[in-house]
Structure 1
Amino acid sequence: MSAPRPLRSGSLRRRTIVSVLAVVALLLVVLAVIVDIALGARLRGQIEDRLRDRAAATASLVGIVDATDLADRLSAQGLAVRIDGAEGDSVVAGPSPDQLRSAPAGPAGGGPRGGEAPPTPSPGAVTVTASDLTGDADLVTLRSTLSDGSTLTLTASAAGIGETLAQVRWIMAIASVVVLVLAAGAVILVVRATLRPLDDVSEVARAIGGGERDRRLRPTHPETEIGRVASALDDMLDDVVGAEVAARAAEERLRAFLSDAAHELRTPVAGIRAAADTLVRADLDGPEREMLAGHVVREATRASRLVDDLLLMARVDRGLELSVAMTDLREVVAAEADRARLVHPAMTVRTELPDAAVPVAIDRDRIAQVLSNLVENAARVTDGRGRVELGIRYEGDDVEVHVQDDGPGIVVADRERIFDRLVRLDEARTTAGGVGLGLPIARGIARAHCGDVLCLPAEAGASFALRLPLPATRPAQRAGRAGAA
């Protein structure tokens, strides 16, 4: 099993700010590259359009103006002009391409120089028959074939494009720095406001650690990211506080249980010790010695019964090993009724059993122990002279064995408390009374069978019900009651 990785606890605020600024800077770089490429292409396209216009205007003047005059007019606009005639003669005007490359650049798009207007085509003029654009970063050259077979070569300087782009780059760089500074300030404010709920989470966590267990976040928008985190933290805090309360309650119950168990054991042990001491120290004969010996036996039996109950309760908590078999529940109830009549002859025991068999999958001895505990509890509260009724009836997917007596009854507030360990409604601890483990043991055994023992409302006396699942519904009952068992 790999060791858990430590949580990366770097500053979320710093990482968020740096990440946002990095994205903004990358977008500005991409924007600058796009602007540089688009503007350079646009400026170069303007020069190419200008050369095409000049070539078209020149084609319209072929045959009207001689080649020398035409070359002078074109060169006056800052262009290098070369006209190669069809008969091999050539006319060159204006600066040479090398001069254009090294000369200071004019406007990026060029324009007329010396106040001379460019030639304009006349109506019906003959246009360029063929053209070819070439060039490099500093020059743009257009070669056109005119209608008379001569070749016109126009060359314009593109150096102004580089200078214009350099100026635009500086402007973009300065603007990008300003944008980054403004973005950094805005991001810091936004991130600080956005992450403020995390500071509230930390404050609540420290307050709870300091003892304020009722503090909660209670997010106003639980569907958001921080809202989900806050809701999960509130749920975790509820579980932790609930577990803490449950642990403290369990500790208190354990202390009370140990105190009550020690109290219950102390009485018979003290009686055994006193009787044994008397038997050892005093020279007794006859009835007195037999009385003390009988007292030792009774107290030892009482202590042994209490220890057996405590051990059984521990096994119930750990999980009983049941010997489950299909059994007719009527036989178990009838056998317990017969046993009660023998043990308590002064008590009236009545049964109300169905005519048909009631097959259930149970551990017969354990269920008989549950019924015995319930009947003995009824006999104890009626001093062995009351009336006890045992009956079987169906409740939905379960079958219930009811044990009802005509004793003083149980108030509503105590109907669940009596199932706690070592709890007795009669505060006087007499040797005839129980120790308060019969009902908890009965419920534990019933829940081990995926059933339960309940204290039901009754018009007179107390009414208990042993509820067991029928065989057809036992898997579903087990799944639904596994936690309770």
Structure 2
Amino acid sequence: MRTALPLLRRGVRFSSGPASLAGRVRWAVLVLLAVLLVALFVVVDVLLVVRLRSDLQTRLTDRAALAQQLDGSLSAQQLVSKLEGDGVGVQLCTEDEGCVSTPVAPQPPGAAASDDGQGQAARASRGPGGGPPAGPAPPDQVLRDGSTLFTVTRLDSGAQLTLSVDDSYVRETVTGLVVLEVVGGAGALVVGWFALGRVVAAALRPLDDMTSVARGIAAGDRGRRLGSGRPDTELGRTALAFDAMIDELESAVATAERSQQQMRAFLSDASHELRTPLAGFQASAENLLRADPDREERERALAAMVRESTRASRLVGDLLTAARLEEGVELQRAEVDVVELARQEVERQRLLGTGTTWGVEAAGPLVVSCDAVRVGQVLTNVLDNARRAVGGGGSVVVSVAARGGEAVLEVRDTGAGIPADQRERVFERLVRLDAGRDRRSGGAGLGLAIARAIARAHGGDLVAADPGAGGDPGADGTGPGAVLRLTLPLTPP
């Protein structure tokens, strides 16, 4: 797991602010709550002021309407007594009784106050030029003078009714409410701050679990997982993604470790393979330098040096080929008749394999888009293995056919065969299954690995099939000999 940490360090970095995530969430929620409270309080105060002033105006207009109804049925003093109360000041001026008012008589703005008030009432009750009354004023016309609301109404009898009310208590009520709102809001914010601490901690507990799991994995406990994520929640999806990321990292680390082990084993085997021909070459050279062999012995030493250098050169060439195939080989594709290619490779092997019977079975030409040189190299490696397997006797048959959109080339020999549990292992590098296939008989165990890599580069494959089960790879049949099957797509990938 530690090998993958540099990859994470080079990945996405999250910016860290001056406070923790929980602190930022608490401050954000608290600020939002404060804004909402202020907005709510402002709306409540405005609506309360409007409602209270509307009630005062309604109170005045209702008293004015009541005065119109009671006009003429009650005396001026009785009418004033009926209309006063609830903070409403009343002044009624008539021609007969003068002005009758409550202890605090309302005075409309702009009206000139007289000592007895009777002249003013008489003048107000008459129309222009001392004629009849000018008619009643609209009862719903409410005017303001400072903090006083008033209305002046001309009754049907000609009397002038003035109603007033002081709205200063509205400001006092709103001021008291604002003080209460400020104190209550501050207290609510303080309580909310401490409550948010617990709520946010509970909401962000899955993040603490992720931190604990990550630290446990970093400490070596790679099997730990969150495992409780719900895909319908944000934190649940994060937990599932976290587990998937850890699984992928573990898979990548396991693959890297396995590749390192394989590389170490490969280097060890390659060093061992190279050490043998180099040791033989060195021994022959030292024998020539230290001793003074006769002509025949010198020729044998020189021949041994040539043989060992050839083996070393072939092994190095195979290693380079295998490395290039892993990096990706560039194929020179062309239309190739694989039946004719198989016949050419078999004819070449017939010249080398004395005593071996060779044959090609094909219904007719089969053209495939492939790299003829590379596919020929595959057939050469497979046929070389078959020739060594039969040991100078027996037979090797190559069958070519089209099957399921693929060209199938099967090489069947009558040798000892390949055990079922070794049919995949033969394609590993530097693997030889028995003593009959040692380094003296040729091959360092790279031929089939190179052949499979070339086949897969073409989009096909090379497998060891079961000769006793119709050539199905991986079956546990016990048929004689071995069958190696090469498949190439008829249409290039």
Q: Same fold (TM over 0.5)?
A: yes
- Name stretches of at least 5 consecutive residues in structure 2 with no aligned partner: 1-10, 110-135, 469-478
1:212 paired with 2:221, answer yes
Q: What are the equivalent positions in structure 2 for 1:351-362 lying under 5 Å apart?
A: 351-355=360-364, 357-362=365-370
The one-letter code of the counterpart of 1:203 is S
Which shifted more, 209-218 or 423-432?
Answer: 423-432
Shift, 1:353, TM fit: 0.8
Look up the match of 1:179. Answer: 188
**Which residue among 412, 426, 432 is the counterpart of 1:404?**
412
TM-score normalised per structure 1: 0.84
Shift, 1:274, TM fit: 1.1
Look up the match of 2:277. Answer: 268
Q: Structure 2: how far apart are the matches of 1:4 and 1:226?
A: 19
Look up the match of 2:33. Answer: 24
Look up the match of 1:291. Answer: 300
What secondary structure is seen at the aligned counterpart in 1 of 2:467?
coil
What secondary structure is seen at the aligned counterpart in 1 of 2:415?
coil
What secondary structure is seen at the aligned counterpart in 2 of 1:95?
coil
1:226 paired with 2:235, answer yes
Q: Structure 1: how far apart are the matches of 2:421 and 2:143?
A: 104
**Which residue among 15, 18, 30 is the counterpart of 1:7?**
15
**Which residue among 47, 50, 66 is the counterpart of 2:59?**
50
Distance verdict in 2 for CA 1:151–1:379, change over 3 Å = farther
Shift, 1:220, TM fit: 4.0
Look up the match of 2:116. Answer: none
**Which residue among 427, 431, 437 is the counterpart of 1:423?**
431
Distance verdict in 2 for CA 1:152–1:383, change over 3 Å = same
1:301 paired with 2:310, answer yes
Which shifted more, 161-170 or 51-60?
Answer: 161-170
Look up the match of 1:394. Answer: 402
Look up the match of 2:487. Answer: 467
Q: Structure 1: how far apart are the matches of 2:229 and 2:177?
A: 49
1:281 paired with 2:290, answer yes
Which shifted more, 369-378 or 400-409?
Answer: 400-409
Percent identity of equivalent pairs? 40
Shift, 1:128, TM fit: 8.2
Look up the match of 1:241. Answer: 250
Q: Structure 2: how far apart are the matches of 1:188 and 1:76?
A: 54
Look up the match of 2:385. Answer: 377
* Residue-by-residue CA offset, 1:278-324 (whole Å, 9 max, x unaligned): 22332223432222222122111111111111111122122222221
- Name stretches of at least 5 consecutive residues in structure 1 with no aligned partner: 101-126, 479-485
1:95 paired with 2:115, answer no
Which shifted more, 168-177 or 364-373?
Answer: 168-177
* Contact residue 137 and residue 154 of structure 2 kept, 8 A: yes
Look up the match of 1:324. Answer: 333
Shift, 1:409, TM fit: 2.1
Distance verdict in 2 for CA 1:190–1:131, change over 3 Å = closer
What secondary structure is seen at the aligned counterpart in 1 of 2:142?
strand
Look up the match of 2:324. Answer: 315
Distance verdict in 2 for CA 1:346–1:97, change over 3 Å = farther
Q: Structure 2: how far apart are the matches of 1:7 and 1:383?
A: 71
Q: Structure 2: how far apart are the matches of 1:19 and 1:128?
A: 58
Shift, 1:389, TM fit: 1.5
Look up the match of 1:123. Answer: none
Which shifted more, 456-465 or 304-313?
Answer: 456-465
What secondary structure is seen at the aligned counterpart in 1 of 2:393?
coil
What secondary structure is seen at the aligned counterpart in 1 of 2:321?
helix
Aligned Cα root-mean-square deviation (Å): 2.8
**Which residue among 331, 334, 339 is the counterpart of 2:343?**
334
Shift, 1:442, TM fit: 0.4
What secondary structure is seen at the aligned counterpart in 2 of 1:453?
strand
